[in-house]
A and B are shown apart, each in its own frame.
Chain A
Amino acid sequence: MSWENFRFALFEKAPEALFEHSMIVVITITIAILISVPLGVLLTRPKYKGLGLVTLNVLNVLQAIPGLAIIALALPILGLGMKPAVVALLFQSLLPIVRNTIAGLIGVSPDVKEAACGMGMSQRRILLEVEIPLAMPIILSGIRTATVYVVSIGTLAALIGAGGLGNLIMGGLALFRPEYLLVGAGLGAIMAITLERSLSYLERRITPPGMRVS
């Protein structure tokens, strides 16, 4: 190991890789939330309840596909670059959020909904003021799972030219440069753990105070 290589990896290579990696994560998770939460809400409305199970089963199957395989499958279909990587990762980050959105909304006590309805709150109001706030911690926990997942599989996105921390690691493996490996892998681990910690902190913060007791 040489300090020179280490310094080069950390200061010359890592900033760009880290930025690319963050972009992949932020874009993928943002789109995943925008799709999954409304989908979860829709699938818990009485009209579409039947579709819920089907959707969950499909997403469950998608989820079982190994990350390396989904990245490999994205290449011939979508080509090289960040966009295909985001789409591939998106497929698998939907499930935890949709599943948790559904679980969170279903978990809201029917008595509370009944009382809200009996007081004349409209369905929209009940959704926005009662169901979503009460389901929020669980939805957020789904977002957390998805985020950790995307950070992790995001390292493989380098294989199809999306850049990111995977570039450093792959480079390090190809040339056997432990400095590159340590910087790339270390930053990836730190990023995943930091995001996980911050999101679970947010999750606790967002839990309505009345529900923290017990």
Chain B
Amino acid sequence: MIELKQITKQYLGQAMPAVENLSLSIPEGEICVLVGPSGCGKSTILRMINRMIEPTSGTVTIKGEDVSSTDSDQLRMGIGYVIQQIGLLPHRTIAENIAIVPRLYKWPKERIAKRVDELIVMMGLDLEKTRGKYPSQLSGGQMQRVGVARAMAVDPPIMLMDEPFGAVDPIARNHLQDELLRLQKEIKKTIVFVTHDINEAIKMGDNIAIFDAGKLVQFGTPEEILTNPKNSFVENFIGHDRVVKKLNLYRADDAMQPVGCLVKESDLQSAGQRMKDAGTEVAFLLNEVGQRLGHLTFAEFEAGKGDLEGLRKKVLRTEKAFVQISTSLPDALSLLLEFDSDYLGILKGDELCGMLSFKDIRKHVYRKDGE
């Protein structure tokens, strides 16, 4: 989709080039994150795509067409552009701000109005309350939503985002990230996303390109980068908790195993035998009407054999140790610790579809590491 070929950008009076001999191919319909410490050239690269900066040498092509042969204003009208400082026009209302690019395209008024309303709603803002307001009347998070809406106004296939959520508070940032990911599932834009925050990169990126001093150090999926950091720079940049970060990439269903043994409350005394028969170390207990009560390990059963009331109490202590299938692994891990439990029951809707233990998580991460 976007192809950078042997791009070098040398600023006058600077010893080192800001970007050096970079070749990068950005796939269509995915989020590609450019990440690196400040001054590594990532913003420069982004801005060379819409010709806010011209490269010293090399070419940028979009869908095979060299951008330097296009009219720069026309080019930019067709590419969404979001910056950290947002840059909403302070003398225009929110609706007018979103309408800027459609107006450049000379859309008819009704079409613009309809699209503006659609975008305000899509961004999760209150239509009636927001439309006529001025930027200074909004919070930082709301302003950035408008910034994103403005960039998407004419539904451009490409969006360039330069630290778009860098200036908002952490809670709003999280929301904005989640919403962009949710939107992206529907709109499938080619998004080039610049950040200096590796966690944001891992969360947002289908692919991550890590830069240092104007050079591309590693390009790959978050999983690849976390699993096989290319050198010590990448290792340091992603941090020594990279395995924990890697957990973020997975959900409970990635690591869970099937439930081996379901036991009715009335059959509690035979649970040990059933576990043996099923070749599993844990049994989930259901009451007479099929409600989940909790689980019991083989070791617990053996230790408390005979004391049925004690066993039942043990089972009820894990009453809450169930999570939805979409839970991220770090959350699942945290819950395992919180419930002081060996297993979590994994639910799909209201149905028990699997279980997850410390060992499963370890095995999953280990397996990926060994690949």
A interface vs B, CB < 8 Å? 109, 111-122, 125, 130, 133-134, 208-211, 213-214
Give bound CA distance, A213 to B138, whole Å: 11
- Are A115 and B76 also in contact (CB < 8 A) when A120-B101, A209-B134, A213-B134 are? no
Cα A118 to Cα B134 with chains together (Å): 21
Pairwise interchain contact B87-A121, C-beta atoms closer than 8 A: no
- Does the CB pair B76–A111 fall under 8 Å? no
Residues of B within 8 A of A209 (CB): 91, 134
Give 20 A-B contacts (CB < 8 Å), ordered by A residue. Answer: A109-B85, A109-B90, A112-B89, A112-B90, A115-B81, A115-B147, A116-B87, A118-B52, A118-B87, A119-B100, A119-B151, A120-B75, A120-B101, A121-B73, A121-B104, A122-B73, A208-B91, A208-B92, A209-B91, A213-B134
Contact across chains for B87 and A111 when beta carbons are under 8 A apart: yes
| Contact across chains for B86 and A120 when beta carbons are under 8 A apart | no
Report chain A residues within 8 Å CB of B90: 109, 112, 134, 208, 210-211
Closest to B84 in A: A111
* Cα distance, A137 to B84, chains bound together (Å): 27
A133 to B92, CA, bound (A): 10
Name which residue of chain A comes closest to B50, CB basis.
A118
Indicate whether A210 sits within 8 Å of B93 (C-beta atoms), given known contacts A118-B81, A121-B73: yes
Please provide the chain B residues from 69 to 87 with a CB less than 8 Å away from any CB of chain A in the complex: 72-79, 81, 83, 85-87
Closest 5 CB pairs of A and B: A115-B87, A210-B134, A208-B91, A120-B77, A120-B76
Q: How far is the CA of A134 from the CA of B91 in the complex (A)?
A: 7
Of chain B, the residue at the smallest CB distance from A113 is B87
Q: A119-B81, A210-B136 are in contact. Are A111 and B91 (CB under 8 A)?
A: no
Nearest CB of B to A110, in Å:
8
B residues near A134, Cβ cutoff 8 Å: 90-91
B4 to chain A, nearest CB (A): 18
Assess whether A114 is in contact with B91, with CB atoms less than 8 Å apart. Answer: no
The majority secondary structure among interface residues of chain A is: helix
A26 to B363, CA, bound (A): 86
Q: Which residue of B lies closest to A112 (CB)?
A: B87
How many Å lie between the Cα of A64 and that of B74 in the bound state?
A: 48
9 other A-B residue contacts (CB within 8 Å) besides A115-B81, A121-B73, A130-B89: A111-B85, A115-B86, A115-B87, A115-B89, A118-B50, A118-B81, A119-B150, A120-B72, A210-B93
For A130, the closest partner residue in chain B by CB is B89
Is B294 at the interface (CB under 8 A from chain A)?
A: no
Residues on A with beta carbons closer than 8 Å to the beta carbon of B77: 119-120
Residues of A within 8 A of B93 (CB): 210
Among A111, A117, A119, A211, the most chain B Cβ lie within 10 Å of the Cβ of A119
Tell me if B135 counts as interface (CB < 8 A to partner A): yes
Interface string of B39-65 (1 = CB under 8 A from A): 000000000001010000000000000
Is B88 engaged at the interface, CB distance under 8 Å to the other chain?
A: yes
The reply to whether A210 and B76 contact each other, CB–CB distance below 8 Å, is no
Please state if B137 and A119 are interface contacts (CB–CB under 8 Å): no
A47 to B110, CA, bound (A): 40
Which residues on A sit within 8 Å (CB–CB) of B91? 133-134, 208-211
Q: Taking the nearest CB of chain B, how far is it from the CB of A30, in angstroms?
A: 26
Q: Which of A112, A115, A122, A134 has the most CB of B within 10 A?
A: A115
Find out whether the CB atom of B88 lies under 8 angstroms from the CB atom of A119: no
The residue of chain B having its C-beta at the shortest distance from the C-beta of A136 within the complex is: B91
Chain B residues with CB under 8 Å of A211's CB are 90-91, 134, 136
Residue of A113, A210, A211 ringed by the most chain B CB atoms within 10 A: A210
Which residues does chain A contribute within 8 Å of B52, judged by CB atoms? Answer: 114, 117-118
Mark out the residues of chain B between 259 and 293 whose CB falls within 8 Å of any chain A CB in the assembled complex. none
Q: Nearest Cβ in chain A — how far from B248, in angstroms?
A: 31
A120 to B75, alpha carbons, bound, how many Å?
7
Q: In the complex the two chains form, what is the Cα distance from A112 to B78 in whole Å?
A: 19
- Residues of A within 8 Å of B75, CB to CB, are 120
Residues in A with CB closer than 8 Å to B74 are: 120
> Shortest beta-carbon distance, B199 to chain A, in Å?
25
Taking each of B52, B100, B147, which has the highest tally of chain A beta carbons within 10 Å of its own beta carbon?
A: B100
Partner of B92, one of A113, A120, A210, A214: A210
Whether B83 pairs with A115 at a CB distance below 8 angstroms is: yes
Residues of A within 8 A of B76 (CB): 117-120
- Give the docked Cα–Cα distance between A109 and B90 (Å): 10
When distances are taken between beta carbons in the complex, the residues of chain A under 8 Å from B137 are 210, 213
Across-interface contacts of B85 in A (CB, < 8 A): 109, 111, 114-115
- CB neighbours of A125 from chain B (8 A): 104
Whether B81 lies near A111 (C-beta < 8 A) is no
Q: Which residues of A contact B134 (CB under 8 A)?
A: 208-211, 213
Is the Cβ of B101 less than 8 Å from the Cβ of A115? no
Partner of B88, one of A112, A120, A214: A112
Whose C-beta in chain B lies nearest to the C-beta of A129? Answer: B89
Of the candidates B76, B89, B92, the one having the most CB atoms from chain A within 10 angstroms of its own CB is B89
> Interface digits, B95-136 against A, CB 8 Å rule (1 contact, 0 not)?
000001100100000000000000000000000000000111
